[in-house]
Amino acid sequence: MSDIAYLELKDGRRIAHRFNPGAGPALVFLPGYMSDMDGGKASAVMGWAREEGRACLLLDYSGCGHSSGDFADGTLSIWRDEVLALMGARDIEEAVVIGSSMGGWLMLMIGLALGDRLAGLVGIASAPDFTEWGRSSGDKKKLRAGETVYDENPYGPEPTPMHPGFWADGQANLMLGGEIAIDCPVRLLHGQQDADVPWDISMRLADALRSDAVQVTLVKDGDHRLSREQDIDLLLQLIAGLPTAD
């Protein structure tokens, strides 16, 4: 897919996105940490939306993919505001927000901001609060002191950075310690062989959500990416089965 558009924000950031007009509620796909809208899951959601005549929005956060900016400057709060700005620019009133890994944390923040405009959530290996449970006390000390921490990257040759600004913003937006005031239908998909985000995080998230319409689907042999053909088929089934997806 090459139909990339750009939204220029007041400070000059240019946010790359793809939008398919159609019936609502619109599907809004949120990639993971250092990921972009060219991934297999995002592309599959857009392909399904086009076939079904559904509105769909894909995007790259600032500092990622085709968007401008420096990844080191990105935070959850900044990226949340970019998503909301894109939704406003595309006149999206009601949305089903789909979040992969870190995007599963961001979808909660966006869902809370949308309020009654939120029609549903679909989390894929959702990773809320990973700045807390995913970091050692030594890492937190370094990040608190303004030092960037690097992790081994199983998906590429370069180590994965966590910058102190992102970490501090994450710590200010922790979700799992109390009730998450979201009442819409929620579907959570998680692989039990996930080496990056333990599958019990999705169980904790299900408990924290105020909604009673929460279903968790575990894939026994699924890894973190859940990008195999059968995983993507299952994801699309969950999206299609939401009560709001008429």
pLDDT digits (tens, 9 = 90+) for 114-123: 999 999 999 9
CA 200/CA 192 separation, integer angstroms: 9
Percent of the chain predicted with pLDDT > 70:
98
- Cβ burial of 168 (10 Å; 0-12, 13-18, 19+) is middle
Look at the domain 5-240 and name its fold.
Rossmann fold (3.40.50)
pLDDT at 245: 42
For the stretch 61-110, pLDDT in tens is 999 999 999 999 999 999 999 999 999 999 999 999 999 999 999 999 99
Q: State the number of CA atoms in the 13 A half-sphere of 4 facing the CB.
A: 14
- So what's the pLDDT on residue 127? 98
CA nearest to 59, candidates 22, 103, 21: 103
For the chain, the straight-line distance linking the first and the last C-alpha, in angstroms and rounded, comes to 26
Tens of pLDDT, residues 2-56: 599 999 999 999 999 999 999 989 999 999 999 999 999 999 999 999 999 999 9
Helix-, strand-, coil-residue percentages of the chain, each rounded to 5 = 35, 25, 40
Q: What angle do CA 171, 176, 179 make, to 5 degrees?
A: 120
126's CB contacts (< 8 A; 6+ apart) are 99, 101, 104, 105, 107, 188, 190, 197, 201, 202, 205
What is the distance between the alpha carbons of residues 235 and 92, in angstroms, rounded to a whole number?
22
In the prediction, which pLDDT does 24 show?
85
Task: Using DSSP, state whether 213 is helix, strand or coil.
Answer: coil
Domain ranges of the chain: 5-240
pLDDT at 2: 55
